């Protein structure tokens, strides 16, 4: 692969697409040529990348001729249709959708955890679910020291996780609410302003788990390469514009103290401790937004487990960055022969 690869972004006009551009720029990711791809609705619009005026093209079967790296964030249907065509044309695909995550031939990568898996790719590398990334970055260094055998996660997921239109719906429905007007939901299934609701993905009628929860469970096992880890998840959409938060309780095989957890996390890659009991200052989505780390705090012994094997904590991360664009660009940086500027 060239040191100055041709990079295509499929879904460039979306919430994640915009962050691909910004993340590549600020990390000095070398780009020979950028192909900006979206739907026919956006074809002909323009964007700016490193001072260059780039015309957005409609994504078609022919879009990937000469492309070295294709970053996909246009939904799983688009990935299923076009990612194999991009691979056929010679590109390596880093896919943000759920289309290929559980495919045994596709590495599912969080660079802080399993960067080595990138070598196994056969053209497509999958970026994990954003709620999974947010939990797993801080859990991995603990799991490595003292295996986590059981995990319970409750999420507080922002509008940005559902894309640009959902963010707009949160803003517009809040404005309408403050004016005393009714705002019929268009993107989300329920009233979003001053409300929260169970995650807006389909529910499995048998298990009662929604798709987002099932993704977190399955992806945790694949990324940790631990089929036995017991995971319970409740995913909830909250009226926060950007950055997901999660309450996490985990039980380890051996006893573990909150001090030990704090010490492990103090040196962990991609993690920043925000754990000020005196000031009652802990991870918040407003602090997590626009930065790269998973913020971790409220680290405390789980008092419901008198055996001392369990610890609880609260985390927040910008899921448009570490949960999507940043993680994907980090993967692209690790592709063979890639070099940073």
Ligand X SMILES: NC(=O)c1ccc[n+]([C@@H]2O[C@H](COP(=O)([O-])OP(=O)(O)OC[C@H]3O[C@@H](n4cnc5c(N)ncnc54)[C@H](OP(=O)(O)O)[C@@H]3O)[C@@H](O)[C@H]2O)c1
Report DSSP letters for 184-244, one per residue: --SSSSS--TT--EE-SSPBPTTT--BHHHHHHHHHHHHHHT-TT-EEEEE-EE-S-SS-E
Is residue 11 within 8 A of residue 78, CB to CB? The reply is yes
Quote the Cα angle for 105-109-113, to 5°: 130
Question: Does 239 participate in binding ligand X (rule CB under 6 A)?
Answer: no
Residue closer to ligand X by CB (options 70, 74) is: 74
Shortest distance, position 95 Cβ to ligand X, whole Å:
8
Of the residues 59, 109, 113, 326, which one makes contact with ligand X according to CB under 6 A: 59
Q: What does each C-alpha distance from 61 to 20, 39, 64, 78, 86 come to in angstroms?
A: 22, 12, 7, 11, 8
252 is catalytic: no
Residue closer to ligand X by CB (options 15, 148) is: 15
Q: Binders of ligand X: how many residues, by CB under 6 A? A: 29
Shortest distance, position 274 Cβ to ligand X, whole Å:
21
Is residue 331 within 8 A of residue 300, CB to CB? The reply is no
Q: Which of 130, 235, 252, 309 is catalytic?
A: 130
235 is catalytic: no
Residue closer to ligand X by CB (options 148, 321) is: 321
Q: Which residue is nearest to ligand X (CB)?
A: 14
Question: Does 34 participate in binding ligand X (rule CB under 6 A)?
Answer: no
Stretch that binds ligand X, among 61-69, 161-169, 211-219, 292-300 (CB under 6 A): 161-169
Rounded distance between C-alpha atoms, residue 278 and residue 300, angstroms: 14
Residue closer to ligand X by CB (options 245, 312) is: 245
Q: Which of 121, 143, 199, 244 is catalytic?
A: 244
Residue closer to ligand X by CB (options 59, 231) is: 59
Quote the Cα angle for 248-253-255, to 5°: 85
Q: Which residues of 259-285 are buried (b: 16+ CB within 10 A; e: fewer)?
A: ebbbebbeebebbbbbbeeeeeebbbb
HSE, CB side, 13 Å, CA atoms: give it for residue 263.
6
Question: Does 308 participate in binding ligand X (rule CB under 6 A)?
Answer: no
Report DSSP letters for 75-89, one per residue: -HHHHHHHHHHHHHT
Of the residues 7, 36, 74, 83, which one makes contact with ligand X according to CB under 6 A: 74
Question: Does 201 participate in binding ligand X (rule CB under 6 A)?
Answer: no
Rounded distance between C-alpha atoms, residue 139 and residue 321, angstroms: 18
Question: Does 73 participate in binding ligand X (rule CB under 6 A)?
Answer: yes
Residue located via tokens 């997590």? 288
Shortest distance, position 24 Cβ to ligand X, whole Å:
15
Of the residues 2, 4, 41, 196, which one makes contact with ligand X according to CB under 6 A: 41
Of the residues 163, 239, 270, 283, which one makes contact with ligand X according to CB under 6 A: 163
Contact code string over 267-306 relative to ligand X, x by CB under 6 A: ----------------------------------------
Of the residues 36, 71, 78, 271, which one makes contact with ligand X according to CB under 6 A: 78
Is residue 30 within 8 A of residue 5, CB to CB? The reply is yes
The dihedral region occupied by 168, where left means phi > 0, alpha psi between -120 and 50, and beta the remainder, is: alpha
Residues involved in catalysis: 130, 244
By the criterion CB under 6 A, which residues form the site for ligand X? Answer: 11-17, 38-39, 41-42, 59, 73-76, 78, 96-97, 130, 160-161, 163-165, 319-320, 323-324
């Amino acid at each position: 692969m060239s040191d100055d690869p041709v990079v295509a972004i499929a879904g460039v006009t979306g919430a994640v697409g915009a962050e691909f551009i910004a993340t590549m720029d600020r990390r000095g990711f070398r780009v020979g040529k950028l192909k900006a791809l979206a739907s026919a609705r956006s074809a002909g619009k323009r964007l700016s990348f490193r001072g260059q005026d780039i015309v957005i093209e409609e994504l078609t079967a022919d879009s990937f001729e000469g492309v070295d790296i294709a970053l996909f964030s246009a939904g799983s249907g688009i990935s299923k249709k076009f990612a194999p065509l991009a691979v056929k044309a010679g590109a390596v695909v880093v896919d943000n959708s759920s289309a290929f995550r559980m495919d045994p031939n596709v590495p599912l990568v969080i660079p802080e955890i399993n960067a080595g898996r990138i070598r196994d790719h056969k053209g497509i590398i999958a970026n994990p679910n954003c709620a999974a990334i947010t939990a797993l970055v801080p859990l991995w260094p603990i799991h490595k020291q003292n295996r986590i055998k059981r995990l319970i996660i409750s999420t507080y997921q922002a509008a940005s996780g559902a894309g640009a239109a959902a963010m707009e719906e949160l803003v517009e429905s809040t404005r309408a609410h403050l004016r005393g007007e009714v705002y019929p939901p268009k993107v989300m299934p329920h009233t979003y302003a001053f409300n929260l609701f169970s995650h807006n993905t389909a529910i499995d009628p048998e298990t009662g788990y929604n798709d987002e929860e099932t993704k977190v469970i399955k992806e945790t096992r694949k990324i940790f390469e631990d089929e036995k880890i017991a995971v319970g998840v409740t995913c909830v959409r909250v009226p926060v514009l950007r950055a997901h938060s999660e309450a996490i309780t985990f039980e380890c095989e051996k006893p573990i103290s909150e001090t030990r957890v704090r010490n492990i996390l103090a040196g962990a890659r991609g993690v920043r401790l925000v754990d000020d009991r005196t000031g009652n200052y802990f991870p918040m989505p407003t602090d997590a937004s626009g930065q790269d780390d998973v913020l971790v705090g409220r680290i405390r012994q789980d008092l419901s487990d008198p055996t001392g094997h369990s610890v609880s904590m609260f985390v927040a991360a910008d899921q448009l960055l570490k949960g999507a664009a940043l993680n994907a660009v980090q993967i692209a940086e690790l592709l063979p022969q890639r070099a940073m500027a």
